[in-house]
Structure 1
C-alpha cells in the first residue's frame, strides 16, 4: 500500500437538523452524554444502541458532545431502527419485520437493502462489499460505510487474488473520499519518495512486456501513420506524450524498409514529468536514442523537444513547416486534459481545435475505454472497479503472483490512477477517461473526419496477441480497433484527418 500520513476520519454525526450546537471532544476524555431520544433513559435499550453505535463508528476515538439538550427527530429514530437491524445481524431481520408492522413500503425497501448488504458480507463477496460500501457513501450513510470499511480491511491484500489486490487500492480511495481528503492524499502520494528512476523505468517496462495494451496502442497508431505517409518524402510527427520514445522505434524501422527509400523524418516530442524522471533526464535522452537508431537504418532524422505541459502547448511550440506531411499522435494522453466540466478553458477541446488548425494528414487516438470523466462518485467507482479488475486479472495470468516485482508494478504504474479516480474531485482528478463514442463527438466538433485503418494493422496486432493469453480479444467496430480482456473493452484506437 501507499505510505502516507494516517488521515483522521470525522466520526459519524446525526443529520444537521437533529443536532443543536455541538463541539468535537475526544471519547476518552468525555464525561458528557451523547444525543439520545427524549424518552430513553441510561438503562433503556435505545440508549445502549446509541452508545454501542458510537463505539462502532468512532474510528478516531472521538465523538460529538451535545450541548443543547435533547435532539430527537423522526430522521434520528429511523436511523436507530437501521442501527438495530445492523447490530442484530441477518438472522434477526425477520424478527424486526414481525415486530414493527408499522413499517411503510419505503422502510421495507430500506430493510431489504440492509439485508442484501449484510448477506454479501456474510458471503465475503469482496466485489459486492466494495460496491455496497461505495453505495453507502454515495447515499451519505457514513455509519454503514465505516462499518464496512473495517470488514473490508480484513479482506483485501496487495499479494492476494486480483480482486483482493485491486480491492486494497479501491479501499484506499474510499477512505480518502470519505474523509474528504482525497486530493491531499493523492498529493502526498506524489510527494512520497519515488523509487529510483532506474527502478521505475524497470516497472514500466515490465508492465509494457506482460500486457499488450501499450503495444496494441502504439502498433495501431504507427500503422495508421505509415499508411497515411506511404508516399510522402518529408514527415513531421508530433507526439503529445513521447515518454521513452519507444513507440517510434518500429516506425523508423518500417520507414527504412519502404520501397523507394525512407522519408526525412522529424519528430516533435512533448515532455511528461513522470517519464522524465523514469528516464533519468530530459528529452535530449529520447532524441539522442532515436537519432542513433535512425542513423543505423539510414533514415534522415531530426528531433525537436518541447518541454512544456500538454495543456500549455501553443502552435508556435510545434515548429510546423511548409512542405511537411504532418501526423499528430495522442496515445494515452488526452484523458489527462481537463474539459468543460472542470474548467471554462476546456483544454481538451481547445487542444483538438488547435491541432485541426495545423491541417494534419492524420491524427491518431489511443485511449482507455472507460467512462469516469463526468460520472458521479458511485457509477465512477463501479466503472473503475470493473475496468481495473479486468486489468489486474490479465496481469495475474502473465506475471506470477510470487514475482518479486509484481507489487511494485501494480503500485507504481496502476494504483495511483485508481486512487485518483476514486478519491479526487475537480481539478485534482487528473485521470478522466471517456468512451470512444464521446471522443468521436469531440473530434467531430473540432472538424475532424474518421481516417480508415488499414487491414494490415488488424492482422499485425492479431499476430502480436498470439504471444499472450487467449483471453485477450481484438475487435474492429465502426472503423476503430478495440483490445479487451474477455468481455471487457480496455483500450480503443482510431485515426482522424
Structure 2
C-alpha cells in the first residue's frame, strides 16, 4: 500500500522531543506531525567470523533451517593448494578479502601488513563500493602520471583516499622514517590542491605509515610517525585533523597493550562511559545529533513508512522494539494511526526489550502513554527485561492471535555480533513469534575482520565520512559535536583499533552479510516501496547539509550515505 504515506509538513524533531519529555505539554503544543561483505569484486569478512568460520555462497551446503553449531563450520582456505592459487589470483587484484584474512592470520608473524591490507586500501583509493551521486575524484593507483585533482575542496574521505594512493606508491620504496616520507617524490598528485589539503594529505600519510609499522610490530618506528600525527592533528581542528587525532590516540593505546605498558587487568576494566546506555537516554548530545544529522531521522522515517504500508488495515498492532531508546519514532506512528478514517485502530501495543536501563525504558513508556492519550489512541506499553539475551523467550511476550506483530531493530543487532549465541537466541525467538515483518536498521561498514589493519582501514574511511558529515552539519566548536566525537566516536575508534578478542564490541557488518545471515532463519527480504525512497529524499532536503546525503536502493533495501560513502542501511524482512 504505497499510497499510505506520512506527511512531513510541520514536523519538528526538537518539538516532539520537548513534548515527550514534558507530560504537561502533551496535547497543548501538538499541531501536525509527519514523518520525521560480499562486495561486487571483493568478499568482505562476514558476520560468520564471529561464529568461527568464513564462508562463500558457493561453498555453503548447510541447510538454512539449521541454526546451530556455528563454530563447527570452517573451511580450510589456507591449505597449500588454495594458498598457491590465491597468490596467483592476487596479482590481478581479485583475491577475496575474507580468504585473504585467513591466509593473513597464518602468515601474521611473517608479514602482518600484507597484500590483503594493501589491496583493501587500494580498493578505497579507486572509489570502491560507492553510492551514486556527484562525480567523485578517483585517483588512479596503477597508472602514471597521477590523476589531476579537481579545484573544488576535497572531502575528508577523499583526502584519505589521496593519502592512500601516495602511501601505496611509496610502499615500494623503503619508507622507514619521517624524513624519507617527506622526501616522497610523488608531488604531481598535489597539483590544484590548497595548502591546507596538502597538509591534510601528508598528515593522513603519517597515520597510514604508523599503522603499517604497528601491524609489523615495529613500535618505535610507529611512534615516530605518531609523534608527527600528534603535532599536526587536533580534536578541535578540521575533520582530517580530528580523525587522525582519535585514530592516532587509539594506535598508541594498542602499542601500550602489545608492549605490556597496559596490563591485562587494566584491559579488562569496565569503561566508565556506556555508549549504548547513553544513547538510550534523551540527553542533550543525543538530541542535538538527531536534530542536526540526517541519518537517524531518515532511518526512522523509512522504517515507519514500511510499517504503515504493511499494517494499514490492521486493527490491533503489536510492535516489539529490541532497543527503544527515547521512542520518538513511535509518536509518528501514533499520529499516522490516529488520523486513519477508514480503519480505526483498536489498540497499538509496544513491547520494549532490554537488559539494562530499566528506568529509562519506563520513562519512555510514560511519555508515549501521555502522547497516545493526547490523541485518544488506544495504547498499551509493556517491558520485557532480561538479565541476559540468552534468557529471552517467546512466552515473555503477550502475543494475541488477532494482532499484527512487527519486530523493530534500530541499531540493536550490531552489539550482538560479538556474542553470537545471544544473537542466535534472539533470532530463534523472533522466528517463533513469526511477525508479519521485521525492520532492521544497521551500520553499513565491515568492522568484523580478525585482521587489525583491515579493520583500521575500513574504520578510517567510515569515520572520515562521518566526521566530514558532522563538519557540515554542526559548528566545529559546538559542545554537542565535541561530546559526540570525544566520547561516542572515540569509543568506537578505540574498539576497532586498540581492542582484540572478546573485548572488541564494535563488529559492524554490511547488508549483504546480514542477508546471508537472515536467510539461515528462513527470512525473505521485502522490497521497500518507492514511497520510502521518496520520503527519505524529501526528508534530507530539510537539512542544510542534506545535499551531501546520498540515498539509493541496494536490491530491495535502502542505503543512506554521505557524499557517496555508505553509512547506514534499512531493510525489511518476513518469514517464508
TM-score normalised by L of structure 1: 0.71
Q: Distance in 1 between matches of 2:481 and 2:172?
A: 42
Q: Distance in 2 between matches of 1:115 and 1:193?
A: 38
Matched, 1:416 2:491: yes
Q: Is the contact made by 2:437 and 2:572 (CA closer than 8 Å) also made in structure 1? A: yes
Q: Distance in 1 between matches of 2:564 and 2:555?
A: 18
Q: Is the contact made by 1:253 and 1:297 (CA closer than 8 Å) also made in structure 2? A: yes
- 2:370 corresponds, among 292, 298, 307, to 292
User: Residues 220-259 of structure 1, C-alpha deviation per residue, up to 9 Å, x if partnerless?
Assistant: 1111111111111111111111111112111111111123
Matched, 1:190 2:271: yes
Tell me the residue number matched to 1:467: 542
Tell me the residue number matched to 1:131: 208
Q: Secondary structure at the match of 2:317?
A: strand
Q: Secondary structure at the match of 1:170?
A: helix
Q: CA deviation at 1:314?
A: 2.4
Q: Distance in 2 between matches of 1:272 and 1:442?
A: 24
- 1:112 corresponds, among 174, 189, 209, to 174
Q: 5 Å matches for 1:24-43?
A: none
Q: Secondary structure at the match of 2:406?
A: strand
Deviates more, 1:440-449 or 1:198-207: 198-207
Q: Distance in 1 between matches of 2:446 and 2:413?
A: 13
Matched, 1:323 2:398: no
Provide closer, same or farther for how the CA distance between residues 198 and 141 of structure 1 changes in structure 2, counting only shifts above 3 A. Answer: closer
Q: CA deviation at 1:412?
A: 2.8
Q: Secondary structure at the match of 1:489?
A: strand
Tell me the residue number matched to 1:484: 561
Tell me the residue number matched to 2:417: 338
Gaps of 5+ in 2: 1-109, 111-169, 185-197
TM-score normalised by L of structure 2: 0.62
Q: Is the contact made by 2:280 and 2:360 (CA closer than 8 Å) also made in structure 1? A: no
Q: 5 Å matches for 1:199-348?
A: 201-260=283-342, 261-271=344-354, 273=356, 276=357, 281-308=359-386, 311-312=389-390, 313-339=392-418, 346-348=421-423
Q: CA deviation at 1:116?
A: 9.4
Q: CA deviation at 1:414?
A: 2.1
Tell me the residue number matched to 1:54: none
Q: Which structure's relative contact order is higher, taking Cα pairs within 8 Å and 6+ residues apart?
A: 2
Gaps of 5+ in 1: 1-74, 76-107
User: Residues 437-467 of structure 1, C-alpha deviation per residue, up to 9 Å, x if partnerless?
Assistant: 0000001111100112122111111111102
Provide closer, same or farther for how the CA distance between residues 288 and 167 of structure 1 changes in structure 2, counting only shifts above 3 A. Answer: same
User: Residues 292-319 of structure 1, C-alpha deviation per residue, up to 9 Å, x if partnerless?
Assistant: 1111112111001122367332223333
Deviates more, 1:257-266 or 1:442-451: 257-266
Tell me the residue number matched to 2:449: 374
User: Residues 275-300 of structure 1, C-alpha deviation per residue, up to 9 Å, x if partnerless?
Assistant: x49xxx33221111111111111211
Provide closer, same or farther for how the CA distance between residues 141 and 439 of structure 1 changes in structure 2, counting only shifts above 3 A. Answer: same
User: Residues 88-141 of structure 1, C-alpha deviation per residue, up to 9 Å, x if partnerless?
Assistant: xxxxxxxxxxxxxxxxxxxx9775343899426987522222122112111222
Q: Is the contact made by 1:338 and 1:427 (CA closer than 8 Å) also made in structure 2? A: no
Q: Distance in 1 between matches of 2:250 and 2:415?
A: 19
Q: CA deviation at 1:193?
A: 11
Q: Distance in 1 between matches of 2:384 and 2:246?
A: 34
Q: Secondary structure at the match of 2:176?
A: helix
Q: Is the contact made by 1:306 and 1:317 (CA closer than 8 Å) also made in structure 2? A: yes
Tell me the residue number matched to 2:246: 169
Deviates more, 1:451-460 or 1:410-419: 410-419
Provide closer, same or farther for how the CA distance between residues 193 and 434 of structure 1 changes in structure 2, counting only shifts above 3 A. Answer: closer
Q: Distance in 1 between matches of 2:401 and 2:469?
A: 45
Q: Secondary structure at the match of 1:255?
A: helix
- Paired residues, number: 382
Matched, 1:355 2:430: yes
Q: Distance in 1 between matches of 2:448 and 2:220?
A: 28
